[in-house]
Structure 1
């Protein structure tokens, strides 16, 4: 069995002080993981940041018990530095550091040896082959030096008489089993997800008590239920989660999403509004709360309660706008605001100012990385709003090819239906848009 190498680094795309937005997932998959494997080690990455900043028990175990560790110090991420401090306190050697070469290392770690790597304009690593080889050699050197007097931990270098704690072999073996268990658990969930909700619930029951599972596995299960539109299962799972995980932003946001899908609007609104009050507006949280108000507008409109409907529509637009203004790079709340402005009677003139801004935001996102369903769906709605048939058909084809979860296509089809209905009342029909709407509806049914 290969020695384990734990990777300490941020996740996703994050801006750093130099102004660059680093694609840390690409750094891991393109540079770090291949180098670890080439050095004859097995890479283990920290669970994604889903536990509200609280380092949970499996994280401590990995930090202490992994034979090797690689820490990416790019951006001076607080969690990474805390984890590195823990590692240096218990492991005299076998910890390798790296950072984006355009960055200045913080004062406290500047004397430590660290491997610089280069970033391209899109935030992904460049000169990947050279960086991989350099990191592989450092890991091989660390492996060869294990047990020697040389150390890479400043604690062991500078504090006389300080010795490493004794880590029982039994504990190490138990840890290794758990690390592999987490990987196996996620594979089982992926297989069950493809088989449907009943298979997923059965697999979840076989994993054991939620309180005893790693956070990453629990969140994987949580989002697997979302993929299958198993909203009640999401709510029930959230109630069983350990408090730090249940209080995390991701879980609370997605719980609000599930509650709204169950038409428990008051609970969803309260949960999401509290999150905004605590942390300020965000594109994701405001986008979800905007959907709550949008659904309330739709219900009031269908009940012919026109005054109440007008109030909910204005509240939905304001909430989406607040989310878009919190992060102009995320077009999702922006396109929802524009669409709802189109649905007002008369239409909100602010949509003409917002349309090019939203269009620019999604096009910049497309230019910088791999687009997902929502990027193509946003371009589709923009094209329909602008009555651009060619662009709409192209975006629809791309969106249909990128559908991951059936409710995604359902959401877009519903938005197009609302636009169509509003335009019909103004004798402003766009016949070709109905065909696209039908294709999305078929996809959501399938």
Structure 2
């Protein structure tokens, strides 16, 4: 991710305090721009100067979205002070002040918060101190993550003031800044988890990077890959430690991973450090879900055949009662949260069913409120599966057999073939079935859900994922051989032996680009073992074929082999610019971007399932997207790396 900096400063040449002209264009070009680029920032500056205080839309968007605002306060320029006021009101941090000096002092005076001095000579940056001035500015803005608190005097004076959500302040008409942001966000809405992770790394500012990580985490949680989802929320918290939603999602991931104690500690920490979150319905519902997970974990592995499961569930009344109360409080604070109310009522009736309820039971009042809440949601969203399935679950708790069947048939009718949604409903029924709650009604619900699942195409879930990266076959004019034709038989044999050692077969998934050489050898070996093939291309297919297949020695033969693989695919190749948009920077490498896409996609299927196979000579840079980076990343994550060192393979005469 490249962070976004906005510079607020005078334009052109202006007289200084001593009457001598200061060339602010030279200051920007020679001092600010190199320093901010060295700090890894993409720099923006409006190029027009309007009347003092004029609300320029582009400038306002920069002041809202920028990670860093650098303001030059050498002169009493009203536009600079206006920009500072807007930024201080919108954001709590990230402002750095710079000011020119004609002398030798570089340290700020007492009270000059985050003000840096740079040196002038003959109306421009002083060449004798320019390198040091640049380095000081670069070092200061690079420390942004450690200096995010208390930079806005407005937010400091008003501690309950909250930064606005940037989405709520986008202008109606897209401008030069918000157009790319909006296009990026549009792609995010329809992307798969692996795609979202690449978009997150390419986000043009921290706000969008956080939005992408949250979206990726949510998508991974829906796919039940909570270990990788947890990583995304941790990344958000590295950027913004107080992010409440990320902290809630992180606690939820921990609970789903069975790390209940850590999850409960995370919620307690959130409540302690963020008092406004303590009574929020979202926090209450989260606490309820953790206690529910804790309760289920205590009895779910008991021996059901001897009735031990039900007896153990009844004996664990403490976490059950805690879950009920948290869910009930969430629903009382916000009656539109019918899912929290439904969980409270379900657990309350289960507690009564298990014979472990000694406290007062207000299930009737809760039931009446829940009936109203779900009914209101149904009136507004009659075709929403989440609402319809909640209505069916409520009928299962309170209705007769005929109403249960009717409600579940309505729900499955609007599911739209969403296998994950139907499977989630089935999982909810398992709790009731395991504890013997309303067996006839539960069995009827199971029958309808199972029938709908049988008519729905289940998503492909691979047993193993094989991620491959390898050298292309040498082009005819390659000066130093790397993958000559004589290496092909040994490379093909080594790839096949590696796949056999990993137990590759039907039900597994292979991911690679499809270039001549290593990629095609890997794909052919996987095809022979009935592994499902998935090609991900860095360029539109005709361009990719010209650059990465036909360009090799014996290119026509490689093209024939590519076509044979192409015809055997279950799904057409995915093309990177079609899926994720154009390169984020003009000089970006599409092949390295595609490797990052492959890596993120493989990991999004489940970290523990991925094995990385590389056909590689051990050379190359360590930048993101190179084989060295993929090798190091997979070794760090799983250790399941098979490196076929091309320097050790026997060569045959070409």
Deviations 1:179-230 (A, max 9, x none): 333333334444541xxx44554x3476269858454344333333334333
Over 3 Å counting, the alpha-carbon distance change for 1:343 and 1:403 in structure 2 is farther
Shift in Å, 1:444: 10
Contact 2:422–2:453, Cα closer than 8 Å, also in 1: yes
Inter-partner Cα distance in structure 2 for 1:282 and 1:327: 9
State the number of aligned residues.
Answer: 287
Paired position in structure 2 for 1:329 = 336
Alignment RMSD: 4.4
Paired position in structure 2 for 1:64 = none
**Equivalent residue in structure 1 for 2:394, among 372, 382, 393:** 382
Q: Taking CA–CA contacts closer than 8 Å with sequence separation of 6 or more, which of the two structures ends up with the larger relative contact order?
A: 1
Over 3 Å counting, the alpha-carbon distance change for 1:232 and 1:189 in structure 2 is farther
SS in 2 for 1:219: helix
Deviations 1:311-338 (A, max 9, x none): 2211211211121122223211111011
Inter-partner Cα distance in structure 2 for 1:290 and 1:316: 4
Shift in Å, 1:288: 2.2
Shift in Å, 1:291: 1.6
1:432 is the counterpart of 2:444: yes
Over 3 Å counting, the alpha-carbon distance change for 1:387 and 1:420 in structure 2 is farther
Inter-partner Cα distance in structure 1 for 2:179 and 2:411: 37
Deviations 1:144-173 (A, max 9, x none): xxxxxxxxxxxxxxxxxxxxxxxxxxxxxx
Inter-partner Cα distance in structure 2 for 1:366 and 1:319: 25
Paired position in structure 2 for 1:397 = 410
- Extract unaligned runs of 5+ from structure 2: 1-56, 71-85, 92-173, 303-311, 460-654
Higher Rg: 2
**Equivalent residue in structure 2 for 1:232, among 218, 224, 227:** 227
Shift in Å, 1:295: 1.6
Inter-partner Cα distance in structure 1 for 2:373 and 2:68: 36
SS in 1 for 2:335: coil
1:280 is the counterpart of 2:262: no
Choose between structure 1 and 2: higher helix proportion. Answer: 1
**Equivalent residue in structure 2 for 1:361, among 373, 383, 395:** 373
Inter-partner Cα distance in structure 1 for 2:190 and 2:324: 40
Inter-partner Cα distance in structure 2 for 1:372 and 1:199: 26
Contact 2:264–2:287, Cα closer than 8 Å, also in 1: yes
Over 3 Å counting, the alpha-carbon distance change for 1:219 and 1:346 in structure 2 is same
1:415 is the counterpart of 2:417: no
Inter-partner Cα distance in structure 1 for 2:268 and 2:245: 14
Over 3 Å counting, the alpha-carbon distance change for 1:364 and 1:59 in structure 2 is farther
Deviations 1:115-161 (A, max 9, x none): xxxxxxxxxxxxxxxxxxxxxxxxxxxxxxxxxxxxxxxxxxxxxxx
SS in 2 for 1:183: helix
Contact 2:284–2:329, Cα closer than 8 Å, also in 1: yes
Paired position in structure 1 for 2:245 = 250
Over 3 Å counting, the alpha-carbon distance change for 1:254 and 1:210 in structure 2 is farther
Contact 2:200–2:210, Cα closer than 8 Å, also in 1: no
Q: TM-score, normalised by structure 1?
A: 0.53
- Extract unaligned runs of 5+ from structure 1: 1-41, 47-53, 62-78, 85-174
